[in-house]
Amino acid sequence: MFLSCGQLKLSLTRPLIMGVVNVTPDSFSDGGKYIELQHALTHARQLLAEGADMLDIGGESTRPGAAPVSLDEERRRVLPVVEALADGAIPISVDTQKPELMHEAVAAGASMVNDVFGFRAAGAFEAIASSGAAICIMHMQGEPHSMQHNPQYTNVVEEVRDYLVERVRAAVSAGIARERIVIDPGFGFGKTLEHNLTLLRNLRKFTDIGGALLAGLSRKTMLGKITGRDPAERVFASVAAALVAVQNGAQIVRVHDVAATRDALAVLDAVAQN
């Protein structure tokens, strides 16, 4: 089992860690810390030294209520980071909903595009179809500015699953091979705490859709609701959530705290080697 990421083939026999690099002034847990290019690069290199298998570079916050960012501004934040890091050896993902930036990021060396909008924008699949880059298709109900107002599902697991099945089909018809596809139920994106917990309990039901399964729980509000802690103090809760996700079938975890997650996954791996 592997994920095809541009020229790279990533083995999925052990869980992979995707380290988050937010080049934004307003991300919910680290906004403003890495908006300067040099700070973003130092942070990215630190995450790699701590054991990240790939990096996800984002130039637009998707936190509940976040304001949209123009293409020019997002491009200005993201592309210099991609250009400086993409050396052909490290998988670099770009977290964007904009087809133009998807195309430009891949041309600048990114080998994956992560879209919280699930490549529903006109031209999104076409922007990367011929490139060989991997894609991460995430589920979101609504849009960031309003998604947490009153999320509603009759059956959250079935509805998120049906959405991902349909998007994977659409990606394959657009010429994107299954080994390039990652899927993600989108914890916190138009979901209450109970919806998120139901998805986490039932994560294994997403493992036969035909894409590598990614879970992003790191520092999220759901963990704040459970522990009563602010985002920067949610490291232990995030590690626990990543472990549960991996035990329930996640093959990639998207995290801010790479070193702590790496150690926890090493313990899980040691126990599994029997």
The residues that touch ligand HH2, with contacts defined as CB under 6 A, are: 20, 22, 24, 27-29, 58, 61-63, 95, 114, 116, 136, 138, 184, 186-187, 214, 216, 254
Choice between 116 and 235, CB closer to ligand HH2: 116
Backbone angles phi, psi at 22, to 5 degrees: -95, 110
Choice between 103 and 256, CB closer to ligand HH2: 256
Among candidates 85, 7, 3, 12, which has minimal Cα distance to 44?
85
What is 152-220 written as a DSSP string? --SSHHHHHHHHHHHHHHHHHHTT--GGGEEEE--TTSS--HHHHHHHHHTGGGGTTSSSEEEE--TT-
Instruction: Give the number of residues written for the chain.
Output: 274
Q: How far is the CB of 86 from ligand HH2 (least distance, A)?
A: 19
33 is catalytic: no
Q: Which pairing describes strands 54-58 and 92-95: parallel, antiparallel, or unpaired?
A: parallel
Q: How far is the CB of 189 from ligand HH2 (least distance, A)?
A: 7
> What is the rounded CA–CA span in Å between residue 131 and residue 123?
14
- Tell me which residue has its CB nearest to ligand HH2: 216
> What is the rounded CA–CA span in Å between residue 43 and residue 164?
32
Q: How far is the CB of 251 from ligand HH2 (least distance, A)?
A: 13
Q: How far is the CB of 111 from ligand HH2 (least distance, A)?
A: 15
Q: How far is CA 253 from the centre of its chain?
A: 8
Q: How far is the CB of 208 from ligand HH2 (least distance, A)?
A: 19
Choice between 88 and 255, CB closer to ligand HH2: 255
Choice among 9, 220, 229, 234 that is catalytic = 220
Choice between 253 and 265, CB closer to ligand HH2: 253
Q: How far is the CB of 243 from ligand HH2 (least distance, A)?
A: 16
Give the ranges where the chain is alpha helix by DSSP (H): 37-49, 71-85, 99-107, 124-128, 156-173, 193-201, 221-227, 235-247, 258-272
Backbone angles phi, psi at 207, to 5 degrees: -85, -10
205 is catalytic: no
Among candidates 244, 185, 247, 242, which has minimal Cα distance to 213?
185
Choice between 88 and 146, CB closer to ligand HH2: 146
Choice between 128 and 136, CB closer to ligand HH2: 136
Which residues are known catalytic residues? 220, 254
